């Protein structure tokens, strides 16, 4: 070996050792980004100015905006963001033609990430281990982990960490892994060499996600109006769903995956549960049809609902929110078996549920009359 051969950079070796350790924890990808202000902050501020965050008022709070735009506001002295992803490209194994099959209007459509245990809890556990690994290698460093509720522009930083590009549907897309991934990060004061950013935009002229969105929430390339998004309407929104949007929701009672399902970069992505699911990705499974699910919820008190679903993402809209969503889904289904369940909802204490049940009954009659 030549004595003139350039020696490996110790900082790079440390970064790669850290990445390898993080991948062994079950993460799909791990990248490193500098703790600087992301380049598209002006677009984010304009998005807030237009009120496109809807009722998620916390996003527009001055302190939240300040911390979201500058990692040093979230962790003073922050030098590096360690970005990690978990995959969730699951495909239900159901027989075609079964009333519980994904394409059946009788089945409640649930966003893939929400099936099973709340991914926040799974991610928090993994990030805690990653946090330990970082502290072992940098004993004097401060760290702070976040999942998607933290004040971090995670997709921007993930792109800067080389993990993919931000597609026209605003999702992070990797050319080999698609967009079925969740993002978390550990902020640290340790200075770790950053990865090269993912510069290429590989969406090209494709606009399938924009065209497929039933509520036209994707108003342009990388422009999302949360107030129109089915995920926002069925999870974050409190109170009534705007009546004009209800028919377009179909049977999507918790979240929506349409803009990912039509994306060609997700073609051929291997099916699989959340990375590391064998060590804790589980939880209560809701009934397989909307009728059976609404009947279950009607027989649960709010306290019983929380007890049953507290470990899942399905707890987010609460019992009232899920009943509201199911009333919309049952109305859109055209299924005559929905009638008794909707009639029972007319006796609910919640005026929101009663109003959506009445709408569901009228919509059910309309759909059946039209034969659609």
Report the chain's terminal Cα–Cα distance, integer Å.
Answer: 75
Cβ-count burial of 224 within 10 angstroms (0-12 exposed, 13-18 middle, 19+ buried)? buried
Task: Find, among 68, 228, 154, the residue nearest to 60 by Cα.
Answer: 68
Contacts 24+ apart (CB under 8 A), 20-27: 21/133, 22/82, 22/84, 22/130, 22/133, 25/126, 25/129, 25/130, 25/133, 25/276, 26/86, 26/126, 26/275, 26/276, 26/279, 27/84, 27/85, 27/86, 27/126, 27/130, 27/275
Token digits of residue 365? 């009659």
Active-site residue, 148 included: yes
Task: Find, among 152, 186, 159, 194, the residue nearest to 175 by Cα.
Answer: 159
| Residue-level length of the chain | 372
Q: Looking at 70, 131, 148, 201, which residue is catalytic? A: 148
Distance CA 171, CA 206 (A): 14
Distance CA 155, CA 158 (A): 5
Distance CA 281, CA 275 (A): 9
Task: Find, among 229, 231, 199, 198, the residue nearest to 215 by Cα.
Answer: 229
Token digits of residue 339? 């009638």
Distance CA 194, CA 18 (A): 12
Ramachandran quadrant class, 216 (left: phi over 0; alpha: psi -120 to 50; beta: rest):
left
Q: What is the CA radius of gyration of the chain?
A: 22
Give the dihedral of Cα atoms 345, 349, 355, 360; nearest 10 deg. Answer: -10
Catalytic residues, by residue number, are 148
């Amino acid at each position: 070996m030549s004595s003139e051969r350039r020696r490996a950079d110790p900082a790079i070796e440390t970064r790669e050792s850290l990445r390898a350790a993080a991948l062994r924890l079950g993460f799909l990808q791990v990248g490193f980004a500098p703790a600087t202000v992301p380049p598209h902050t002006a677009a984010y501020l304009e998005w807030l100015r237009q009120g496109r965050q809807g009722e998620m008022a916390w996003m527009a709070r001055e302190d939240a905006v300040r911390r979201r735009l500058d990692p040093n506001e979230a962790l003073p002295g922050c030098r590096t963001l360690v970005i990690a992803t978990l995959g969730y490209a699951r495909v239900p194994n159901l027989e075609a033609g079964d009333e519980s099959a994904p394409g059946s209007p009788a089945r409640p459509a649930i966003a893939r990430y929400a099936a099973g245990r709340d991914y926040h809890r799974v991610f928090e556990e993994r990030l805690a281990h990653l946090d330990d690994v970082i502290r072992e290698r940098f004993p004097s460093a401060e760290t702070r982990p976040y999942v998607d509720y933290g004040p971090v522009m995670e997709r921007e930083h993930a792109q800067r960490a080389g993990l993919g590009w931000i597609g026209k549907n605003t999702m992070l897309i990797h050319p080999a892994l698609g967009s079925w991934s969740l993002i978390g990060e550990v902020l640290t004061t340790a200075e770790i060499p950053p990865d090269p950013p993912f510069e290429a935009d590989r969406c090209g002229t494709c606009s399938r996600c924009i065209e497929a969105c039933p509520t036209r929430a994707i108003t342009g390339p990388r422009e999302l109006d949360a107030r129109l998004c089915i995920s926002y309407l069925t999870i974050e929104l409190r109170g009534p769903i705007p009546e004009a949007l209800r028919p377009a929701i179909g049977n999507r009672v918790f979240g929506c995956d349409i803009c990912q399902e039509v994306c060609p970069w997700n073609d051929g992505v291997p099916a699989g549960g959340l990375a590391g699911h064998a060590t804790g990705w589980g939880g209560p499974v809701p009934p397989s049809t909307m009728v059976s699910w609404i009947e279950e919820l009607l027989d649960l008190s709010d306290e019983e609902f929380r007890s049953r679903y507290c470990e899942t993402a399905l707890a987010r809209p609460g019992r009232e929110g899920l009943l509201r969503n199911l009333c919309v889904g049952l109305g859109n289904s055209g299924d005559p078996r929905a009638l008794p369940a909707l009639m029972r909802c007319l006796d609910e204490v919640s005026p929101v549920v009663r109003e959506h049940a009445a709408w569901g009954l009228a919509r059910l009659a309309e759909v059946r009359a039209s034969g659609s």
